[in-house]
A and B are shown apart, each in its own frame.
Chain A
Amino acid sequence: MRVLGIDTANLTNTIGLIDGDRMVTDFAWEARDNSLQRIIISTDLVLKRAGLTLAEIDGLAVGIGPGSWTGVRVGVTVAKTLAYAVNKPICGISSLEAIAYQARSASILLCPLVDAGRENVYSAFYRARGKTLAMEGDYYVGNIKGLTERVKEPALFLGKPAHLYRRAITGELGDLAGFGSPSDTSSGCVVALLSLTRFAAGAADDAFSLVPLYLGESLAQALLRKKETEAGDE
């Protein structure tokens, strides 16, 4: 199965193509160069490198976040519209799982991090189970201290923020904390690889209703919710 994978949730945007479990080509660019401007040109580049047209792929996979709200909207909207336009199945993949997948051979708890702004991170815990990853517990959004308080065993911290906050993490966890390579990030190919089991299980997503995983709300929404809750309490 040929799958085009897209992930624009992180600082590094990436598009890749797989053919079965073989990575055919992967392309990355920095989000500050503009996700919206580059996404279709990069898609075209990846397909041309592989000598394929969009109609010749069998499915699409897209990182749905958590990550940059605007970035992930570009990736999800483009991926689902491409899938709709050429009538191919689509699968939304957690951008955190895509980072954790890079360290799937490790036997300890995996803790991928994505920057959430204001010194916060998005995270989740994963454990390798054979060839796949199992998520443990819920997604996390908050500061590093809150995250490290949840870690009670040796854990491998992954993704660019892991290196940014390395001192803080080590300060809290000491020898329990390990760190992956600074180059561990999501990749279009990994997002595509993660979709294979989902496609095989008949668990593709609906291109119309697929939306990003935000793990947070806008300030206005938060204020309104607070106001409505308070009004309800009275």
Chain B
Amino acid sequence: MLVLGIETSCDETAAALVADGTILSNVIASQIDLHARFGGIVPEVASRKHVEAIGYVIQEAFDSAGKTHTEVDAVAVTSKYGLVGSLIVGVSAAKAMAYALKVPLIGIHHIEGHIFANILSNPGTPLPHVCLTVSGGHTMLVHVKELCQYEVMGNTLDDAAGEAFDKISKFLGLGFPGGPAIESLATQGNRAAFNLPRPLGRSRSFDFSFSGLKTSVVNMFKGRDRETLPLPDIAASFQQAVVDVLVSKTLQAALHKGVSAVSITGGVSINSRLREDFSAACGRQGLQVFFPRRDLCTDNAAMVAAAGAARLKYGEMSQLDLNAIPNAPLESIGCAGKHC
């Protein structure tokens, strides 16, 4: 089954063609340079850029896959979770494609997409497993019971982990996006240099909180001349605090559910420190750990196409009145609007 995936939930305009678990094309037009001038993502700017790029990106997905419109069996689109103005552009385009090509349309939750980014990269990931999906927009722990069967175990109560990286990066004058900037600087620093809090680290809940950690860093160094700040040590200590919380909560969740594997997805899962620490900690606990291919960590449409194919296999599809819902809950298959 050949599925066209479309993803515009934040600042990447993406389209992909995926055939039965094989990625034929995965096109992403990033707006990151555009938003860097603003120091963060500006929703109206993102929406406008999506309209400009969407046609070219879809065409490129067909061209690089060597496929034609008539070969498409379904269109999957991120319709839930993200910036509403951005989601609207992708859903508009996806509906038009599905209607014109007379194929099923399937709306996908952005978080489900990230869960499938790992399944697409590592088809052997055991089920059930626990997935930590972590980016600039979300930090969520999900018990993946079966394909398309989920229990959300924890969520961030304030900032997403990637958002905390962005804010600290801005505070330290390192620019946007913060993840790569802090990671790069942290390699030269001492991660034990400053004693930063591990928020909710001892709590039995699986929720996260990064706002207090951010404030601790700001309070520790505000008013100081930037030239005198030990930037690499701050970056390394801050990064380690975030990674420690992510690792401990995820392992706690895995033990609680008695699963044998965890997957770490989303933009922050590219972080090398995070990958190293997860691998070491999971090794000690006898857990398998899986990360998506690097190009599937950040937002992409291949993961959306893969999730769409899985849902279609169960006979689920959306109607042509599909809406864009920015804060929709992650739902298991067959559970739309119900409490499963």
- Is B45's CB under 8 angstroms from A221's CB? yes
Contact call B322/A37, Cβ cutoff below 8 A: yes
Known contacts A74-B92, A84-B55; decide if A36 and B323 are in contact (CB<8 Å): yes
| Contact yes or no, B92 A86, CB < 8 A | no
Q: Which residues 80-103 of B sit at the A interface, judged by CB distance below 8 A?
A: 85, 88-89, 91-93, 95-97, 99-101
A150: min CB distance to chain B, Å: 28
Q: Are B58 and A73 in contact (CB under 8 A)?
A: no
A37-B321, A209-B52, A212-B51 are known contacts. Are A84 and B59 too (CB-CB below 8 A)? yes
Nearest CB on A from B175, distance (A): 15
B221 within 8 A of A: no
Chain B residues near A140 (CB-CB < 8 A): none
Q: What 16 additional pairs, Cβ within 8 angstroms, besides A36-B324, A84-B58, A85-B69?
A: A34-B323, A36-B88, A36-B91, A36-B92, A37-B321, A37-B322, A38-B321, A40-B96, A44-B99, A73-B48, A74-B92, A76-B51, A77-B51, A77-B92, A78-B96, A81-B54
CB pair A80–B100 under 8 Å, yes or no, is: no
Could you tell me which residues of chain B, from 35 to 63, have a CB within 8 Å of some CB in chain A? Answer: 37-38, 42-45, 47-48, 51-52, 54-56, 58-59
Q: How far is the CA of A38 from the CA of B322 in the complex (A)?
A: 9
Query: For the complex, is A134 an interface residue (Cβ under 8 Å from B)?
Result: no
Can you list 10 residue pairs at the A/B interface with Cβ under 8 Å? Answer: A40-B99, A40-B320, A77-B93, A80-B55, A81-B92, A84-B55, A85-B69, A207-B55, A209-B55, A212-B51
CA distance A78 to B47 in the complex (A): 14
Report yes or no: A73 in contact with B45, Cβ–Cβ below 8 A.
no
User: Closest residue of chain B to A81, judged by CB?
Assistant: B96
Query: What interface size band does chain A fall in?
Result: 35 or more
Q: A76-B51, A212-B51 are in contact. Are A85 and B101 (CB under 8 A)?
A: yes
Instruction: Tell whether, in the assembled complex, residue B42 and residue A220 are in contact, meaning their CB atoms are under 8 Å apart.
Output: yes
Please determine whether A44 and B320 come into contact, CB atoms closer than 8 angstroms.
yes
Q: Which residues of B contact A201 (CB under 8 A)?
A: none
- Interface residues, chain B, with chain A CB atoms under 8 Å away: 37-38, 42-45, 47-48, 51-52, 54-56, 58-59, 69, 85, 88-89, 91-93, 95-97, 99-101, 320-324
A73 touches B51 (CB 8 A): yes
Q: Please give, as numbers and ranges, the residues of chain B lying within 8 Å of A151 by CB-CB distance.
A: none
A54 at the binding interface (Cβ < 8 Å): yes
B52 adjacent to A77 (CB under 8 Å): no
Interface centre among B44, B99, B323 (most CB of A within 10 A): B99
| Chain A residues within an 8 Å CB radius of B54 | 77, 81
- Cβ-defined contact, A78 with B51, below 8 A: no
When distances are taken between beta carbons in the complex, the residues of chain B under 8 Å from A54 are 99-100
Specify which of A37, A38, A85 is in contact with B96 (CB 8 Å cutoff): A85
CB-CB nearest 3 A-B residue pairs: A218-B44, A85-B100, A81-B96
A168 part of interface (Cβ distance < 8 Å)? no
- Give Cα A85–Cα B59 distance, bound, in whole angstroms: 10
Residue of A nearest to B35 (CB): A220
Report the bound CA distance from A217 to B45 in whole Å. Answer: 9
User: Which residues of chain A are within 8 angstroms of B93 by Cβ–Cβ distance?
Assistant: 77-78, 81
Q: Which of A196-222 contact B (CB under 8 A)?
A: 207-209, 211-212, 214, 217-218, 220-221
Q: Which residue of A lies closest to B97 (CB)?
A: A85
Q: Interface readout for A83-102 with B: 1 if CB under 8 Å, 0 if not?
A: 01110000000000000000
Shortest Cβ distance from residue A109 to the other chain B in the assembled complex, whole angstroms? 32
A224 touches B38 (CB 8 A): yes
Task: List residues of chain A with CB within 8 A of the CB of B323.
Answer: 34, 36-37
- Closest B residue by C-beta to A210: B55
Set of chain B residues within 8 Å of A70, measured between Cβ atoms? 47, 85, 88
Residue ID in chain A nearest B44 by CB atoms: A218
- A208 and B96 form a contact (CB under 8 A): no
Indicate if the CB atoms of B56 and A208 lie closer than 8 Å: yes
Asked if A69 is at the interface of the complex by the 8 Å CB criterion, the answer is: yes
* Cβ of A39 under 8 Å from chain B: yes
Contacts of B91 in A (CB 8 A): 36
A73 touches B96 (CB 8 A): no
Q: Which B residues touch A74, using CB under 8 A? A: 88, 92
Instruction: Tell me the complex Cα distance, A207–B97, Å.
Output: 14
Our pick among A40, A44, A73, A208 for the contact of B47 (Cβ within 8 Å) is A73
Measured in the bound complex, the distance between the Cα atoms of B56 and A147 in whole Å is 38
Chain A, Cβ-Cβ closest to B8: A77
**Complex: chain A residue closest to B56, CB-CB:** A208
CA distance A36 to B321 in the complex (A): 7
